[in-house]
A and B are shown apart, each in its own frame.
Chain A
């Protein structure tokens, strides 16, 4: 049966249903309903909610819980996510599965509370040190927040990698009807690597350091193979009216929702436009976008940032068609009419834009 839930609450409930029994976090708007929900529900679900003294502490608690093989999550918003970057790098190197939610708010700095997507670089290129990647999933509805959060735990365990669910403040705060259907998960191997007590077996080390360069290189090459495998296997996207499209928008999360309305408006005028929506931000769905290259005369990225994802779009389009950008920053969102105007101005060379 459908129920109305805020995106943040839906993520928290989905995590518990996916078997997450440990949550560590520090409240920050607009993600606070995640720790709030966990503080209410985790105990009765047989788990532990713990409010950390900071985001730095929270991510290191995640490290500890993940290292012993437990399903663990933290949730935060952009400034808190920045504080976690060192931990992300360590989690990757120690190959600890975990799920992190970033409900983005505007920056840089303390910024504001409004919705943004300006953590894109930090999410997809790695905000911590070293050659690492997180898998980054970007839902665009409360239902998708549920579905992808459940899946995130499986993906994390499958690859022994961190998975980030990235949304903006609107999606975190928005209520939509949502359902929690039974989830058929991936077949997963037992966590024989976990530091879960060594009685009767050799001890496991879950660490992220190596003291010799040759070992450092071989470890990096091994991780590189895992990165290649994730890049090959985990690309996700969704398309709206792309089959006969001559022009295409690229947008994720809330900007994809806004753009969908802009597509409807342009279609009403007889213009053949569609929307390509990355669902995984890393790996970027380059296979799906490449498949549309022959038919598309112009691309336009719609972002709540100065234009970050547009760089990935340009890499894939590689000069075969013009790539435009429609953006708002600092916590503002464009109205669909603004997207329509930007499209006409940049792609058709008309209108006031």
Chain B
């Protein structure tokens, strides 16, 4: 992160929207005129019901687009936690969906942030925005881009559905508020 390059990994079940929040980050980075790459896991993992994508945001030209050791990782389910906790770079941050991932063996050399995003999403009234809530938490604690740029990206990716853009913006802000209150 110090060298102006941030590597992200977003992982979870298919349907939890991890590819989407990767796209939001990528879209926002592009709007902010940063260099960016987004790669989905497209192989057999997809067939196993889990999904992940990696995103790199950089101030300079991006060489390797693969992310072996993310600075910031998000795991939305237990399988992803088990698979990726070891890969986070020392000093990095692991965001965990504590609504469904139990308090498992952690690591001392990374920061682990547990947030019950499914429950927060329920309170908003829409279970499927748990991913966006987590994006808000990530934005509050380890921001790479401006809040406004991310909201703009959220709105753009909602396409011609203003109600979706509104819902996503509320979920994003709920995530930011939760993080400010609890961390």
A residues within 8 Å of B by Cβ? 2-4, 29-30, 112-114, 169-170, 173-177, 254, 257-264, 331, 333, 335-336
Contacts and interface: CB of A to CB of B under 8 A. Distances in A.
B37 A174 contact: yes
Interface in B43-86: 43-44, 62-66, 68
Nearest to A1: B30
Interface in B7-47: 23, 26-27, 30, 36-40, 42-44
B65 A257 contact: yes
A250 to B, nearest CB: 16
Given A174-B37, A175-B26, A261 B43 contact: no
Given A4-B23, A170-B66, A261-B63, A177 B30 contact: yes
B37 A258 contact: no
Most chain A CB atoms below 10 A, which of B40, B42, B43, B66: B42
A170 B39 contact: yes
A176 B63 contact: no
A331 B37 CA distance: 20
Query: What 3 A-B pairs have minimum CB-CB distances, sorted nearest first?
Result: A261-B63, A260-B63, A175-B38
Nearest to B157: A4
Interface residues of B, number: 18
Contacts of A264: 63
Given A174-B39, A258-B63, A331-B43, 17 more contacts: A4-B30, A4-B38, A112-B43, A113-B42, A113-B44, A114-B43, A169-B42, A173-B39, A175-B26, A175-B37, A176-B38, A254-B66, A257-B62, A257-B65, A259-B63, A261-B64, A335-B64
Contact of B65 (A29, A174, A335): A174
B88 to A, nearest CB: 15
Contacts of A169: 42-43
Contacts of B44: 112-113
A263 B61 CA distance: 13
A173 B42 contact: yes
A173 B23 CA distance: 13
Given A2-B30, A4-B26, A113-B44, A176 B37 contact: yes
A187 B44 CA distance: 45
B63 A170 contact: no
Nearest to A255: B64
A30 B64 contact: no
B114 to A, nearest CB: 29
Most chain B CB atoms below 10 A, which of A3, A176, A254, A260: A176
A112 to B, nearest CB: 7
B135 to A, nearest CB: 17
B39 A113 contact: no
A174 B63 contact: no
A169 B45 CA distance: 14
A262 B40 CA distance: 23
A331 B38 CA distance: 18
A30 B42 contact: yes
B23 A257 contact: no
7 contacts: A4-B38, A169-B43, A170-B66, A254-B66, A257-B62, A263-B63, A336-B63
Nearest to B34: A177
A104 B26 CA distance: 25
Contacts of B65: 170, 174, 176, 254, 257
B51 to A, nearest CB: 12
A4 B38 CA distance: 9
B23 A175 contact: yes
A260 B64 contact: yes
Contacts of B37: 174-176
B68 A335 contact: yes
A173 B53 CA distance: 11
A335 B64 CA distance: 8
A175 B66 CA distance: 12
Contacts of A260: 63-64
Nearest to B66: A333
Contact of B66 (A4, A29, A335): A335
Contacts of B38: 4, 174-176
Contacts of B26: 4, 175
A328 B42 CA distance: 18
Most chain B CB atoms below 10 A, which of A4, A260, A263, A333: A4
A296 B68 CA distance: 30
A29 B64 contact: no
A264 B68 CA distance: 17
B162 to A, nearest CB: 21
Given A2-B30, A175-B23, A176-B37, A336 B64 contact: yes
